[in-house]
Amino acid sequence: MSDEYWIWGSAATAPRILHSMVRVADLERSLAFYCGTLGMQVLSRVDVEAGRFSIVFISFAGDYSAPAIELTWNWDHPANQEGYSHGTGYGHVAIGIPDLHGFCAQLEARGVPIVTGPKTLLPGAPALAFIRDPDGYSIELIQTSRQTTPAS
């Protein structure tokens, strides 16, 4: 069998969460945001002419051992003009950021609005912030290094 499709490895003995998938209206816009602005990498991209869609796996790691996001772009979908709708159920993807305050300052300098925060909800707890991706999906940013946390 070919290795090319076994991107998640083939020696697993236990279940594990691999990725979450969201549909995007403009793939290049999303890649500019997730990779150019947030710093993720493209792990793989598949353009399916017959099905008129593309899928791209992106991650902060260079391989599929870490959790990923799957972006699905349907080439001819009306949502590409109208936007995808967001129900009340799905919440967000959370990303751990070593220096949250510095990261948020960088995002603002690049024109990304910080919807909430960065703020610390409980004394001694990591600071949190929320942003939105170009399609309006909520992203939670969580401070993951104490050393760079200023008082807040």
Output the smallest distance, CB 113 to a copy of itself, in A. Answer: 19
Output the smallest distance, CB 111 to a copy of itself, in A. Answer: 19
Alpha-carbon gap, residue 36 to 100, rounded angstroms: 17
Residue span 69-108 as binding mask against a copy of itself, x where in contact by CB under 8 A, dash where not: xx-x------x----xxxxxxxxxxxxxxx----x-----
34: exposed, middle or buried (Cβ count in 10 Å: 0-12, 13-18, 19+): buried
Verify whether residue 4 is a known catalytic residue: no
Measured from the CB atom, the residue of 32 and 96 that comes closer to a copy of itself is 96
Alpha-carbon gap, residue 48 to 67, rounded angstroms: 23
Measured from the CB atom, the residue of 112 and 140 that comes closer to a copy of itself is 140
Measured from the CB atom, the residue of 95 and 112 that comes closer to a copy of itself is 95
Alpha-carbon gap, residue 54 to 123, rounded angstroms: 44
106: exposed, middle or buried (Cβ count in 10 Å: 0-12, 13-18, 19+): middle
Alpha-carbon gap, residue 38 to 32, rounded angstroms: 9
Interacting residues toward a copy of itself by CB under 8 A: 1-2, 4-6, 8-23, 38-39, 59-61, 66-70, 72, 79, 84-98, 103, 122-126, 135-137, 140, 142, 144-146
Residues labelled as active-site residues: 140
